[in-house]
Amino acid sequence: MSRFPGLSRAELEAFLRAFTQPDTLVFRNNKCLGLNRNGKSYTVHVRHGASRKYDASLVEVVAKDLGVSLQEFKDWYEKR
């Protein structure tokens, strides 16, 4: 079981903005594209349809791609 919580679409977008290099995050064709803090590109395919909740396992994978530790995530999540 993941230690990351599930996020709503707005929370996921805020999470991406917080840990992406400034001015690199783009939302295009149900995809979020950007550069992580190390300058490596990433793509998150967002779901289209009725579900607006992203489960914990997806959040954990996205955090890994962004190079965000669980503690960094928890600090951000509590401050927002």
- For the chain, domains (ranges, CATH) are 7-79 (3.30.920)
What span, in angstroms and rounded, lies between the C-alpha atoms of 17 and 23? Answer: 9
| Per-residue pLDDT reduced to its tens digit, 4-45 | 999 998 899 999 999 999 999 999 888 899 999 999 999 998
Strand order from edge to edge, sheet including 26-28:
26-28, 31-35, 41-45
CB of 44 within 8 A of CB of 59?
A: no
* Per-residue confidence (pLDDT) for residue 54, from 0 to 100: 87
> What type of residue sits at position 62?
V
Bridge partners of 43, per DSSP, are 33
Using CB atoms within 10 Å of the CB of residue 48, give its burial: 0 to 12 exposed, 13 to 18 middle, 19+ buried. exposed
Q: Residue 70: is its pLDDT beyond 90?
A: yes
* pLDDT for 1 beyond 60: no
